[in-house]
Amino acid sequence: MALVIPVILCGGSGTRLWPLSRSGFPKQFLVLSGDGSSQSLFQQAVERIQTVASSEIQLGPTLVVTGEDHRFLVLDQLRELKRGSKSLDATLLLEPIGRNTAPALSMAAFCAQQLYKDQDPILVITPADQTIQNQTAFTKALQDCIRTVESTSQSIAILGITPTAPETGYGYIQRSGEKDQSNAYVVARFVEKPDSATAKTYLADGAYLWNSGMFVLKASTWLAALKEFRADIADTSNTAWLNKSEDHSGGYGFIRPGKKEFKAIPSESIDYAVIEKCPGSQFPIKMIELDAGWNDLGAWDAVWQVGKQDSSGNVTSGDTLLSNSQNSLVHATSRLVTAVGVENLIIVETADAVLVADRNNSQDVKNIVSQLESQKREEKNLHRKVARPWGWYDSVDEGERFKVKRIQVKPGASLSLQMHHHRAEHWIVVKGVAEITNGDQVIALTENQSTYIPQGQTHRLANRGTEPLEIIEVQSGSYLGEDDIVRFEDTYGRS
Q: What is the pLDDT of residues 424-465, one digit of tens each?
A: 999 999 999 999 999 999 999 999 999 999 999 999 999 999
- CB count in 10 Å sphere of residue 51: 15
192 φ, ψ (degrees, to nearest 5): -70, 170
pLDDT (mean) for 113-129: 94
Q: Specify if 377 maps to a domain.
A: no
Q: Specify if 375 maps to a domain.
A: no
pLDDT, one tens digit per residue, over 167-223 is: 988 999 999 988 888 889 999 999 999 999 999 999 999 999 999 999 999 999 999
pLDDT (mean) for 150-156: 91
Query: HSE on the CB side for 253, CA within 13 Å?
Result: 15
Domain end marker among 313, 339, 370: 370
Position 401 pLDDT exceeds 60: yes
Q: Specify if 380 maps to a domain.
A: no
Position 301 pLDDT exceeds 90: yes
Same domain, 140 and 6: yes
C-alpha 344/C-alpha 90 separation (Å) is 42
Q: What is the pTM of this model?
A: 0.90
80 φ, ψ (degrees, to nearest 5): -75, -15
Position 495 pLDDT exceeds 70: no
- SS3 for 415? coil
Q: What angle separates helix 41-50 from helix 71-79, to the nearest 10 degrees?
A: 60
Q: Write down the pLDDT at residue 181.
A: 83
What band does 12 get if pLDDT is binned at 50, 70 and 90?
A: confident
pLDDT (mean) for 72-84: 85
Position 100 pLDDT exceeds 70: yes
Q: What angle separates helix 219-229 from helix 231-242, to the nearest 10 degrees?
A: 130
The number of distinct structural domains making up the chain is 3
Q: For residues 58 and 392, is the Cβ–Cβ distance under 8 A?
A: no
Same domain, 310 and 390: no
Q: For residues 306 and 295, is the Cβ–Cβ distance under 8 A?
A: yes
Q: Write down the pLDDT at residue 136.
A: 96
Q: For residues 409 and 462, is the Cβ–Cβ distance under 8 A?
A: yes
What band does 33 get if pLDDT is binned at 50, 70 and 90?
A: low
114 φ, ψ (degrees, to nearest 5): -70, -40
Indicate the average pLDDT of the chain.
Answer: 94
C-alpha 430/C-alpha 228 separation (Å) is 61
Q: For residues 84 and 108, is the Cβ–Cβ distance under 8 A?
A: no
Domain end marker among 325, 347, 370: 370
Q: Write down the pLDDT at residue 34.
A: 54
Same domain, 207 and 319: no
Q: Phi-psi category of 242—alpha, beta or left, where left has phi over 0 and alpha has psi -120 to 50?
A: alpha
Query: HSE on the CB side for 471, CA within 13 Å?
Result: 27
Range of the domain at 338: 305-370
Q: What is the DSSP letter of 266?
A: P
Q: What is the DSSP letter of 88?
A: P
- State the CATH number of the domain containing residue 46: 3.90.550.10
Same domain, 256 and 310: no
Same domain, 276 and 351: no
Domain end marker among 290, 325, 349: 290
Position 379 pLDDT exceeds 70: yes
Q: Which helix (H) or strand (E) holds 201?
A: helix 196-205
pLDDT, one tens digit per residue, over 213-260 is: 999 999 999 999 999 999 999 999 999 999 999 988 778 899 999 999
Query: Measured between alpha carbons, how far is residue 406 from residues 46, 182, 210, 436 in Å?
Result: 32, 56, 45, 16
Q: Write down the pLDDT at residue 66.
A: 96
Q: Write down the pLDDT at residue 493.
A: 73
C-alpha 483/C-alpha 495 separation (Å) is 13
Same domain, 257 and 317: no
pLDDT (mean) for 262-272: 96
The residue type found at 38 is S
Pairing of β 252-256 and β 450-453? unpaired
- SS3 for 260? helix
Same domain, 285 and 310: no
Position 36 pLDDT exceeds 70: no
Query: Measured between alpha carbons, how far is residue 128 from residues 65, 132, 143, 392 in Å?
Result: 10, 12, 19, 23
Q: Specify if 298 maps to a domain.
A: no
Say what percent of the chain tops pLDDT 70. 98
Same domain, 211 and 313: no
Same domain, 423 and 480: yes
Q: Write down the pLDDT at residue 435.
A: 97
Same domain, 337 and 258: no
C-alpha 234/C-alpha 311 separation (Å) is 53
Q: Specify if 363 maps to a domain.
A: yes
pLDDT, one tens digit per residue, over 305-363 is: 999 999 999 999 999 999 999 999 999 999 999 999 999 999 999 999 999 999 999 98
Position 403 pLDDT exceeds 60: yes
Query: Among 206, 230, 287, which residue's Cα sits nearest to residue 106?
Result: 230
Q: Specify if 73 maps to a domain.
A: yes
pLDDT (mean) for 388-403: 93
Q: For residues 138 and 237, is the Cβ–Cβ distance under 8 A?
A: no
Query: Among 106, 99, 493, which residue's Cα sits nearest to residue 262?
Result: 99
Q: Lowest mean pLDDT of 32-41, 46-55, 428-437, name the range.
A: 32-41
Q: For residues 411 and 468, is the Cβ–Cβ distance under 8 A?
A: yes
143 φ, ψ (degrees, to nearest 5): -65, -35
pLDDT (mean) for 383-404: 93
136 φ, ψ (degrees, to nearest 5): -60, -45
Q: For residues 63 and 7, is the Cβ–Cβ distance under 8 A?
A: yes
Q: Specify if 299 maps to a domain.
A: no
Q: For residues 31 and 45, is the Cβ–Cβ distance under 8 A?
A: no
Same domain, 134 and 166: yes
Position 68 pLDDT exceeds 70: yes
Burial readout 135-170 (b: 16 or more C-beta within 10 A, e: otherwise) = eebbbbbbbbbbbbbbebebbbbbbbbebeebbeeb
Q: Specify if 138 maps to a domain.
A: yes
C-alpha 356/C-alpha 140 separation (Å) is 40
Say what percent of the chain tops pLDDT 90. 84
Burial class of 466 by CB neighbour count within 10 A (0 to 12, 13 to 18, 19+): exposed
Same domain, 333 and 281: no
- SS3 for 58? strand
- State the CATH number of the domain containing residue 416: 2.60.120.10
